[in-house]
Structure 1
């Protein structure tokens, strides 16, 4: 290969990269907006769910203990409620650890990867 061919090849690569940089910036902005909106929705929903669940479960636990108040099983019921909460907490923690994390910016990453492959093929 001559120097002229190499320079021409690299000039084409530079044009390609500069034209794609604008596309990457637009794609990045779109994905960031989408990720932000999704995150805000999920956080609000989780907070509302957590507050509602805590109130519901607190009153349920109080109702269970009050129901057993005048029986000889009141201590066992109270410890049973506490043990149930411990088991629920352990199961929830295990479930959270096994969840697959979200992949933000996966479209941008795929586009950059495919463009890098195209550049590698063009430079061969």
Structure 2
């Protein structure tokens, strides 16, 4: 396991299958896998860096190498996929949702000019 988050006894985690290849797994309170999300493209291996769970139970995950966010429903279905480099959000590696429902994204500086080390604040609604 690479990252684990618990929301009302439903655990969502990043499962590291091999170097650079990961998946998101949701497990219920009886230790049963309820769904697996393996990304939305066959071109490159899915490699999420972090995840957060919204107030409505959807999972948001960030993928640094594609500069993207994936919003996954409570049932494990992709709701929306965002390419964040269009908004100058590069290498998103950490996520948090505060008590107001604001999504905070932390970015890495690996192979990117130092001025990229930023926090981005996104107001999210309806998820």
Determine which structure has more spread, i.e. the larger CA radius of gyration: 1
TM over 0.5: no
Q: Which protein has the bigger helix share?
A: 1
Q: TM-score, normalised by structure 1?
A: 0.16
Higher normalized contact order (CA 8 Å, seq sep 6+, divided by chain length):
1
Structure that is richer in strand per residue: 2
